[in-house]
Structure 1
Amino acid sequence: MGRTVDERADDAGPPAGGRPSAAPAPGERAVARRLTAEVWIVLGLSLGQSAVYAVVSLVARLTAGPPLAEQTTTLNASQSPRPYLDLTYQLLSIGFALLPVALALYLLSGNGRSAVRRLGLDRTRPWRDLGVGVGLAALIGIPGLGLYVAGRALGITVEVQASALNEAWWTVPVLILAALQNALLEEVVAVGYLMERLRELRWSTPAIIAASALLRGSYHLYQGWGPFVGNVVMGIVFAEYYRRRRRVMPLVVAHTVLDVVAFVGYAALPEEWLESLGVT
């Protein structure tokens, strides 16, 4: 029985020159669909998931009965009354929360270029990044505190307890690590990764900045409308800085400073000071 044309072609080996024929390059639309799916997957595993839960949490709060001003949310809560088990849980939570950062950096380095250098997450300008970061923290933090107090007074913001960890020798180091984890996750994913991918998808600059800022605000909705507005403003400032400078490291510094002041300050300030600020 004779062989088919395909079988004879298989025996013939590769084309002249000894090299197999290359697969055709994917079209522009196929690349765009793949990038769009990638963005949804990364966000679904990280801040997008947090945003969905935050929206559901806000709806639950608004329909619970008591006004927002009489409700409380707690950040950095203890996960066990046993100190070393609590420490283990805290470190595991921080470590696993950084996996989407690693994923985003890995995906951005797919063309062989260092994602760390591409996003400006390197340490080539340590003192300049530190100075800019501290300046951005002051620019955002001082008005942000005023907005929080105003939101509490208007009844549109819940009471935020920034730290409820049991007192232990590791409490402050863990709070600092939690601040750094938040900064890396939010600035790498919501600013660096998202803006790079949306630029590749040919979004307009205003749309890219709006998407980054609204994402940042959305996953803070569980705190009420005041923090949502404050974080959208912060998102606009940070996204515009990244667009101009192409460096995410100052944003990581600024975010870390803001969270360290909030987390450690909450744990260290006298209770009467916190009461005067409406945070306890």
Structure 2
Amino acid sequence: MSTPSPTRLRAEVWIVLGLSLGQSAVYAVLSLVIKLTDGGLRESTATLNATRADRQWLDLTLQLLSIGFGVLPVLLALYLLAGRPIGFDRTRPRHDLLVGTGLAAVIGIPGLGLYFAGRALGVTAEIVPAPDTVYLWTVGILVLAALQNGLLEEVVMVGYLQTRLRQLGWGPWPAIVLSSLIRGTYHLYQGFGQALGNVVMGLVFGWWFERTGRVMPLVVAHTLLDVVAFVGYLALADQIGLR
């Protein structure tokens, strides 16, 4: 398959980002401005998986639609990268699971400390990872939401974006840094602390992808991190007085 011209590649990158995480970054910046001008981050809340409707069947439908449409940019990125492997496959399941679990631990444990430090310093919003209204299927939806996040952020922001930037002549570290900064930007709605933590996560994940050429362990790691955060909050929030 012939490589598109640099002009077409640049246009393609802008379109993919505009339809996915680049769009999220713009809204996250606006959300941060609203929080800063409306009482500050210490008093603000960032709800990640809010209830979407009062009626149970409608809430489930909207949740599933949101997850389904959220995966479409992943399919677009994979389609556009056809013929350029990024390690998004099932050829090394045990390796990917073990590496992904290790990366999740490396990122997750310090990340939890960074969150509480950010809350104490007033630079991080209170994050509510699970909805107030809980149904029999809520845990399943939270797991699917975690998987969607892992697919979207790692396939698009790491596998796709870094591959395209390298094709455009960028060096490995400039590509990693740009990807990481965008990752941090679309988390700004959670506050400066979480944005910084996600920049660090992006640097680690981007370096791993450049070193190994495999994005699947990153999807595993991100999914595990979100499953623990979402389902763990749901299980422990009442016991420890978080809601």
Q: Which residue of 2 aligns with 1:163?
A: 130
Give the AA of the match of 1:170. W
Distance 1:180 1:244 in 2: 24
Q: Which residue of 1 aligns with 2:6?
A: 32
Does residue 52 of structure 1 match 2:52?
Answer: no
Tell me the CA shift for residue 60 of structure 1: 1.4
| TM-score (ref. length: structure 2) | 0.96
Does residue 71 of structure 1 match 2:44?
Answer: yes
Deviations for 1:71-96, whole angstroms, at most 9, x for unmatched residues? 11111111111111110110000000
Give the AA of the match of 2:173. P
Q: Secondary structure at the match of 1:53?
A: helix
Distance 1:219 1:41 in 2: 16
Distance 1:207 1:181 in 2: 27
Q: Which residue of 2 aligns with 1:271?
A: 238
Question: Is the CA contact 1:47–1:219 (under 8 Å) kept in the aligned structure 2?
Answer: yes
Distance 1:74 1:251 in 2: 24
Q: Give % identity.
A: 63
Aligned-pair RMSD on alpha carbons? 1.4
Distance 2:77 2:234 in 1: 32
Give the AA of the match of 2:72. L
Deviations for 1:110-135, whole angstroms, at most 9, x for unmatched residues? xxx2x5xx011101110110000000
Which deviates more from structure 2 when the two are superposed, residues 75-84 or residues 244-253? 75-84
Give the AA of the match of 1:106. Y
Tell me the CA shift for residue 205 of structure 1: 1.6
Change over 3 Å in CA distance of 1:274–1:105 after alignment to 2: farther
Question: Is the CA contact 1:165–1:171 (under 8 Å) kept in the aligned structure 2?
Answer: no
Tell me the CA shift for residue 272 of structure 1: 4.5
Tell me the CA shift for residue 62 of structure 1: 1.1
Tell me the CA shift for residue 250 of structure 1: 0.3
Q: Secondary structure at the match of 1:73?
A: strand
Structure 2 gaps of 5+ residues are none
Deviations for 1:145-164, whole angstroms, at most 9, x for unmatched residues? 00000000000000000011
Q: Which residue of 2 aligns with 1:149?
A: 116
Change over 3 Å in CA distance of 1:260–1:159 after alignment to 2: same
Structure 1 gaps of 5+ residues are 1-25
Tell me the CA shift for residue 273 of structure 1: 2.4
Deviations for 1:35-79, whole angstroms, at most 9, x for unmatched residues? 000000000000000000001111111112x12111111111111
Question: Is the CA contact 1:266–1:274 (under 8 Å) kept in the aligned structure 2?
Answer: no
| TM-score (ref. length: structure 1) | 0.84
Distance 2:179 2:237 in 1: 36
Runs of 4+ in structure 1 over 4 Å off? none
Tell me the CA shift for residue 239 of structure 1: 0.1
Tell me the CA shift for residue 165 of structure 1: 5.1
Distance 2:96 2:46 in 1: 32
Does residue 188 of structure 1 match 2:161?
Answer: no
Question: Is the CA contact 1:83–1:166 (under 8 Å) kept in the aligned structure 2?
Answer: no
Distance 1:80 1:146 in 2: 33
